[in-house]
Amino acid sequence: MRILLTNDDGIDSPGLRRLHGALAGSHEVWVVAPESNRSGSSHSITLGTPTRFRQVAEREFACGGTPADCVLVACLGLLPVRPDFVIAGVNLGPNLGTDIVYSGTAAAARQGAFMGLPALACSLDSYGPPFHLDFPVEFVTRNLEAFGALLSESHFLNINFPNREAPAGTAVTHPARRIYKDELVRFTPPQGDLYCFIGGGRPESVHEEGSDYWAIERGCVSLSPIVIHPANHEVEERYRQATYWMGGLP
């Protein structure tokens, strides 16, 4: 299989390097990943200015842009042939629930799905070392064909791994609702402008059985299929039923 491997932590991240090492034994792996950490860049793409792609090894490019740029440009022709599969990760840090709105890892997988490719976003539930990467790497490598059979253009698969040597099992889940603890930290230099930093505690989650957070809390691998087309017929109908629009509805 021809695999496009990317991430949002940067091309030198051990999460990506370890996965590359495992996949390259039996697949044709192309790495197109940001040259520095672009975590939290969401689905941003670079428009109006050129983006640098620096070849750093055979089949490896460090990109000056975002994770979504990496997948977009790789599939539009940076790679001599179109990949069969897109894998983002392994991200060092969880991407649970609504984290996927901010996540560059999830965006890279979403961009793969937009381009009609089976795509995985893989994340490890730890913000600091030690990172237990052996299991995630083996899990992705060994289940690649099974994922390929299940994935379609309608969704990508968001995988979160508990940070332990041997997870308690695997659960198919839905994204949790995250509760962010963001706080503004301000710096005022002696001369000049105000500097702000988004600080605060780690996010929490609404406890709900069957969510990705619920699975990770129980030490299980979480598999969340994320539908990419943001249609919601129930909410549409609510608007359709409303009769008070200026100008009316057709």
Distance (Å, whole) CA 92 – CA 90? 6
67/83 with CB nearer Mn ion:
67
CA distances from 86 to 122, 128, 158, 175, 243 (A): 11, 26, 12, 21, 45
Smallest separation, CB 182 to Mn ion (Å): 17
122/157 with CB nearer Mn ion:
122
Distance (Å, whole) CA 205 – CA 5? 29
Smallest separation, CB 173 to Mn ion (Å): 20
- Which residue's C-beta sits nearest to Mn ion? 39
Smallest separation, CB 42 to Mn ion (Å): 11
8/69 with CB nearer Mn ion:
8
Distance (Å, whole) CA 248 – CA 235? 18
Smallest separation, CB 41 to Mn ion (Å): 9
Tell me which residues touch Mn ion (CB under 5 A).
8-9, 39, 91
Smallest separation, CB 232 to Mn ion (Å): 28
Q: Which strand (E) or helix (H) includes residue 134?
A: helix 134-150
42 contacts 69 by C-beta, under 8 angstroms:
no
112 contacts 71 by C-beta, under 8 angstroms:
yes
83/93 with CB nearer Mn ion:
93
202/233 with CB nearer Mn ion:
202
Smallest separation, CB 199 to Mn ion (Å): 18
Residue 5 φ/ψ, nearest 5 degrees: -110, 130
39/173 with CB nearer Mn ion:
39
The crossing angle, in degrees rounded to 10, of helices 14-23 and 134-150 is 60
